[in-house]
Every structure is written in structure tokens, then in C-alpha cells.
Amino acid sequence: MAVGHPAAVGGMRFGDHFFLAYDNGAERYAVLAAYLRAGLRAGHALVHLADGESAEAVRDRLRALFAADAPDLLAAVNDGRVAVPEAAGRPAAEVIASAAGPDRSAGVRVSVEASPSSRGWPGSAGFAAFEDAVGRAVAAAGDAMALCQFDRQWFGAGRLDALEACHGGRAGADAVFDDGVLRIDPLFAPPGLRLSGSIDESTLPGLLAALRGLDDRAAHVCLDLAGVEFCDLAGLRALVGVNEWSIVPDRLVVLRSAPRCVEMMMRASGWEGAPGIVHEGVR
Amino acid sequence: MTAPGAGPPQMRGLVPDAPPRAGGGDVLVHRAVPYGWPRELALTAVPYLEAGWSAGDAVVVIASEPVRVMLRERLGARVREAIEFIDAADWFGGPMRALAGYHDRMRADWWPRGRLRLLAEPVWDGLTPLETLEWQRHESLLNVVFAGTPTMIMCAYDAVALPPPVLTAMARTHPELAGPDGPRPSPEYTDPAEFYAECNAGALPPPPPTAAHRPFGAGGLPSLRGFLTAEAARLGLPEARTLPFVLAVNEVATLIIRAGGGRGSAALWAGEGELVCEVADPGRMLADRFLGYSPPPPGPSPSGQAGQAGQGGQGTDGAMWAVRRLCHIVQIRSGADGTRIRMHVRLDHG
């Protein structure tokens, strides 16, 4: 896994050509939906590229992705606000320019579906050349950004790093909470949350909202606590009581890399043996 | 070690010195055994421990090395091997540490084997007046926090070496006194609530002029924690002990913000061998009836609503339990002019 935090997709700017290596559909959905919604709000022209396939097939895949939880994005695909051009064999800059149309005064957001099936096996010259062309097009346009999405399962060790090098940075899902004291990022494989900072009376409402927002159908949930610098009793109670909001019987809650402050509060409160809680001691 | 609990369950209640049963339920037995010389202690303690072994109890001795050696010499090999011997110096590091240790071991190890039969020799040497008072409160509290549990505790008091005030408090904190002729009620025994109130009666001296002060309110706890960490380092608290101290003070401040007057102030100073932090809530009284001396239920209650159950309620009680565990000693004083919670942590050792 690549080291360091990716940039939040919500913070992308014109000129960015970012890379998303996703673990599963949930992660891709979260990042792509945030990216497209930000574009709809800003009035950007939205272009979704997937070469080597018919545009209708690509549109169908997008419809399937958004059908369950994103009626706004489904509508945007259906009414053409998310443009899906026929891209095969044409230069990336030309495809983007023509798909964005004449009215691109607010700028252009490009989404690139980088599945190996459409462009040959990763590592091939064509694959990298396409990325380079997208990068050049974004850089030259001045009012465009691109988010290239790669399914992590398709790539061997080292290949993702090489692909990332074709981009200006990595994108990830937006934090679900960040007030400068506590930051909460979503995790997708396994599903859960990564917490960084301090959990106290001021950040507890944000933590509770994030915990309630977890997919309550997941069979297990991972709470990565490696970045937690402080945790009070109410925060700990929220973490070990997270199953209160689950409809899954006997859901497993994995506390990953609990720092010393969490372990100490766990001992002091006597909740070390709370049912359904597994401590994964990484450090 | 031989598996404990050798005696069959049906023998319970029939063996000599067996615990009384009220309506078939569990009854705490808490006796002091004042002794003049070690042999006199042995005359009482050895039959007590042997009866526990016969009854299949979990039998535990927490005592100084001389007492442990003396008992080992007088107990039969099978009984000796079935008893868990613990060094009193390790166990009685502080009244709350010992109480939490009892709770942890009773639930995890001792009660699952049936009745606990404990011989304890509290340590009264080298204590400050505050520590002595809090150990006496601890003796009285045992009658409350383990009431209705399958527990027998016999506390050994050296009637020759210990100072008279300690022996006076012994008689007031143990419902029964034991000796070679058997147990008898302690005429001086004092209701634990009354004893607890007496322990809280003395006014706290004001913080010294050198104390560092910091007000706090909602949203201000990161700044309070920064202040506590910096001051603790300046006053010589080892880094490893700073985290529990900051966790405890933060928890009390949180209670004040959530369930108390909403804002308060912290004063911090170094005393003799200890770091003291007093957190004051000028806006609210706090009902302190054995507050924070019983552990919260093993599973947390939902919704992360610690401290929101009102004053003296379940949330406050659970939070104060954690605060007491994180500190050496915690004093609470509350009245019409508000509440002061004074937390003591040791600078020198554990």
C-alpha cells in the first residue's frame, strides 16, 4: 500500500491530474461521486472517458454504479450532463475538448475509467501513453482537472507506483469529519473509519455522526486508531459501543492500532472485554 | 499449583467458620483480626484458610513476607499449594489501585471458583495523613462495594505495632472482629455512609500561591490538556505518568462541561512527592455517595453519553471510577459554593 495520506478529492483544483487506486466499488463510488457532485455544484463540464468501449456500454456501467444511492448522478448521466464520448483512437485532448462542448466557461472535470480491458494490459506502452496524453491535455487546458481510477486488484506490486508517477498526486475520499482537532476518514477494505487527532467533548458529536453513518450492513467494521492522540471516556464508549447502531447480529468491530491513551482508558473503564470488540495490536 | 476449589459445593455452609447465608444469597463477611504476636494471628488465620480450602473457596493471602512465611510454615502442604499468596507491598500501592485490583481479580479469577476467602494485611507504614485516611475509607468501603457478593475478607492488624488511631478506625470499619475464640460483632462498627461523610468532612486547604491556574469551558479542552502536559513536565512528573494524569483531569473537566456548571478552572501544583490538580466547578453541587467506587458494567452503554446522566448518575459514576483508577487519590468536596475535585498523582513511584 502506498505510504501517506492521499489528497481529499474535494480539494482538487484545475491542473490536477490525480490518481485513485481503489480497493472496491464502494471506495470508487465514494470518490467519484464526490468528484462529480462537486463539478455539478460548480457548473463544470463533466467528461467521463473510457476508451476501447462503446459509449453506451460505459454509460450503462455508470448507471449501475449510481442506481442505488445517487439519483442525482444517475440523472446527470441520463441527461448528458456527464458526457461520455466515444474515445477510441482519438487524441485525449481532442476528445475532452469536443465532449466538454463550447460552454466550458466554468471549467472541465475529466473522469478517466482506467480499466485494463479497455486499453490493454497495464504496463503496456499504450496504457502509459494514454495517461501521459490526459496529463498533457489537463496541463494545456488550464481550466481542467482529471481523476483517473484504477482497480487495485488488477495491478501487480510496483505497477501502481509506476502508474502513480504518471500523475500529479493521489486522490482519496473526502474526510467525513475534520474540525482541526479530530479528522475522520472513511476506510473501504475493510469498511470502517480512520481517526486522527483528539476525541473529546468537542469532537464527540462528529465521531458519533461518523459512526452512525457507517454501513450498518457490513459484517465487520475496522476503526483505525493509529493517529488518535487523545481519547476520553465518552469517545471510548462510542467506539466500543458502535454495534449499538448495527442491524447485523454479532458484528465484529476491529480496533486497529489502538494507541496508549485508548488502551489506558480501556483498562481504567473496565471495558477491555466488551463483547464484539477485537483489538488488533499493530503497535 | 494444585487446582483450587477442592472441596465439594455441598460442603459449603457446613464447615466450621463458614460464611453465614441470608436467604440463600451471597453475604459479604468482613472481619478484622487484631493480633498481639504472630502466633496469635496464626491461631485465627490458619483455621480460617483451611476451612476455605475445605469448602472449595478461592483462598488468597495478601500479606507481608514475614506473615506469608509464617502461614506457609503452619499450613498443610495441600492447603498451602492451593492458596494464592500475593505480596502486600505490590497489592496495596494505593487504596483505589487495591480496590480496582479486587474488582478485576474477583470477577476474572476468584468468584468464578465460588466464594473468595481472603486474608489481607493492609500496609500502614510510610503513609501520609491523607493516605492513612483514604486507606481507612477503603476499609469501610469494602462493606459497601462487595456487599452481597460471595466474599470473606479477614484483615490482619498488628495491635502492638500499629498506632492507636489506626486501631480505632479498624474497629469502626469492620463489622466483626476475629480471634482464636471465633468472630464477634465490633461494637464500634460505623455505618459506611457515616464514615464516608466523616472522611469528607475536613475542608480542603486552598491551593498554594504557587499553583498554576487555567480556566476551561466547552471547546477548550485541547488547550487545557496542553497546559496540564507542560506544567506536569515542569513540575517533574515522569512522561510515562503524564498521560493517565491528563486523562483523569480531562475527564473531570468534561463532567463539569457536560453535567456540571458548564465551565470551571484547574489549579496545579507540586506537593510533597506528589502532583496535585484541583478542578473546580463553581456552578454545581455533586452528590458524592461512594461516587466512583463501583466499576461500570462490563459492556458500555450506548450512544457515548458519558457524563450526561446527571450528577451522581450512572455516567458520572462510571467516569469517576475511571478518574479514581487513573490517580493515586481523588478527593471530592461539594457544597453550596460548588464542587472541588482534587486529584493526586505520585511524582516518585507507581
C-alpha A151/C-alpha A27 separation (Å) is 10
What does DSSP say about strands A169-172 and A177-178: parallel, antiparallel, or unpaired? Answer: unpaired
C-alpha B165/C-alpha B58 separation (Å) is 32
Cell numbers given for A171:
486522490
d(CA B214, nearest CA chain A) in Å? 18
**Sequence spans of domains, chain A:** 7-172, 177-280
B254 contacts in A (CB within 8 Å)?
200-201, 232-234
d(CA A209, nearest CA chain B) in Å? 10
Query: Does the beta carbon of A271 lie under 8 angstroms from any beta carbon of chain B?
Result: yes
Query: Does the beta carbon of A100 lie under 8 angstroms from any beta carbon of chain B?
Result: no
CB contact set of B61 (below 8 Å; sequence gap of 6+): B49, B67, B68, B71, B83, B84, B85, B86, B118, B119, B120
Task: Kindly give the confidence (pLDDT) of every residue in chain A, 283 residues in length, as a single tens digit, with 9 standing for 90 and above.
Answer: 344 578 889 899 999 999 999 998 889 999 999 999 999 999 999 999 886 678 899 899 999 999 988 999 999 999 999 999 887 777 778 888 888 777 778 899 999 987 655 555 555 666 777 788 888 889 988 899 999 998 888 777 677 887 788 888 899 999 999 999 999 999 998 899 999 999 999 999 999 999 998 887 788 899 999 999 999 999 999 998 888 777 777 788 899 999 999 999 999 998 877 777 888 865 4
Which of B221, B246, B301 is the closest to A201 by Cβ? Answer: B221
Q: Which residue of B has its CA nearest to A203?
A: B219
Give the per-residue pLDDT at B298: 65
B38: nearest Cα among B159, B163, B151: B159
List C-alpha distances in Å: A241 to A199, A238, B243, B292.
15, 5, 23, 21
Tell the burial category of A49 from Cβ atoms under 10 Å away from its Cβ (0-12, 13-18, 19+).
buried
d(CA A230, nearest CA chain B) in Å? 8
Sheet containing A7-8: order of strands:
A7-8, A169-172, A17-22, A144-151, A108-113, A45-49, A82-83
Give the per-residue pLDDT at A153: 82
Tell me if B147 sits within 8 A of B293, measured CB to CB.
no
What does DSSP say about strands B274-281 and B263-271: parallel, antiparallel, or unpaired? Answer: antiparallel
CATH of domain A177-280: 3.30.750.24
CATH superfamily of the A7-172 domain:
P-loop containing nucleotide triphosphate hydrolases (3.40.50.300)
Task: Kindly give the confidence (pLDDT) of every residue in chain B, 350 residues in length, as a single tens digit, with 9 standing for 90 and above.
Answer: 333 433 333 333 333 333 444 444 579 999 999 999 989 999 999 999 999 999 999 999 999 999 999 999 999 999 999 999 999 999 999 999 999 999 999 999 999 999 999 999 999 999 999 999 999 999 999 999 999 999 999 999 999 999 999 999 999 999 999 998 999 999 999 999 999 999 999 899 999 999 999 999 999 999 999 999 999 999 999 999 999 999 999 999 999 999 999 999 999 999 989 999 999 999 888 888 899 998 877 666 545 444 333 334 458 888 999 999 999 999 999 999 999 999 999 998 65
Are both A7-172 and A177-280 of the same fold? Answer: no
CB-based contact B225 A230, cutoff 8 Å: yes
Query: Would you list which residues of chain B are within 8 Å, Cβ to Cβ, of chain A?
Result: 103-104, 218-219, 221-222, 225, 243-244, 246-247, 250-251, 254, 257-258, 295-296, 298-307, 318-319, 321-322, 325-326
C-alpha A21/C-alpha B188 separation (Å) is 75
Give the per-residue pLDDT at B12: 34
**Number of neighbouring beta carbons within 10 Å of residue A250:** 10
CB-based contact A208 B243, cutoff 8 Å: no
C-alpha A228/C-alpha A69 separation (Å) is 31
CA angle B96, B98, B99 (to 5 degrees): 65
End-to-end, the C-alpha distance of chain A in Å comes to 18
Question: What domains can be seen in chain B, in order of their start residue?
Answer: 9-199 (3.40.50), 212-346 (3.30.565.10)
C-alpha A108/C-alpha A111 separation (Å) is 10
Which of A234, A260, A273 is the closest to B306 by Cβ? Answer: A234
Assign 3-class secondary structure to chain B.
CCCCCCCCHHHCCCCCCCCCCECCECCCEEEEEEECCHHHHHHHHHHHHHHHHHHCCEEEEEECHHHHHHHHHHCCHHHHHHCEEEEHHHHCCCHHHHHHHHHHHHHHHHHHHCCEEEEECCCCCCCCHHHHHHHHHHHHHHHHHCCCCCEEEEEEEECCCCCHHHHHHHHHHCCEECCCCCCEECCCCCCHHHHHHHHCCCCCCCCCCCCEEEEEECCCHHHHHHHHHHHHHHCCCCHHHHHHHHHHHHHHHHHHHHHCCCEEEEEEEEECCEEEEEEEECCCCCCCCCCCCCCCCCCCCHHHCCCCCCCCCHHHHHHHHHHHHHCCEEEEEEECCEEEEEEEEECCCC
Q: Which residue of A has its CA nearest to B254?
A: A201
CB-based contact B304 A269, cutoff 8 Å: no
C-alpha B150/C-alpha B313 separation (Å) is 26
Buried b (16+ CB within 10 A) or exposed e, B270-279: beeebbbbbb
B318 contacts in A (CB within 8 Å)?
233, 269
CA angle B246, B248, B254 (to 5 degrees): 100
CB-based contact A269 B322, cutoff 8 Å: yes
Give the per-residue pLDDT at A1: 37
Query: Does the beta carbon of A206 lie under 8 angstroms from any beta carbon of chain B?
Result: no
Give the per-residue pLDDT at B2: 36
**Number of neighbouring beta carbons within 10 Å of residue B39:** 11
Query: Does the beta carbon of A86 lie under 8 angstroms from any beta carbon of chain B?
Result: no
CB-based contact A202 B219, cutoff 8 Å: yes
C-alpha B39/C-alpha B62 separation (Å) is 18
What does DSSP say about strands A169-172 and A191-199: parallel, antiparallel, or unpaired? Answer: unpaired
Tell me if A203 sits within 8 A of B256, measured CB to CB.
no
CB-based contact A234 B254, cutoff 8 Å: yes
Tell me if B256 sits within 8 A of B274, measured CB to CB.
no
Coil, helix or strand at residue A238: helix
Selected residue of B106, B223, B243, B327 to mutate for chain A interface (largest A Cβ count, 10 A):
B243
Tell me, what's the ipTM? 0.85
Give the global pTM.
0.86
CB-based contact A268 B258, cutoff 8 Å: no
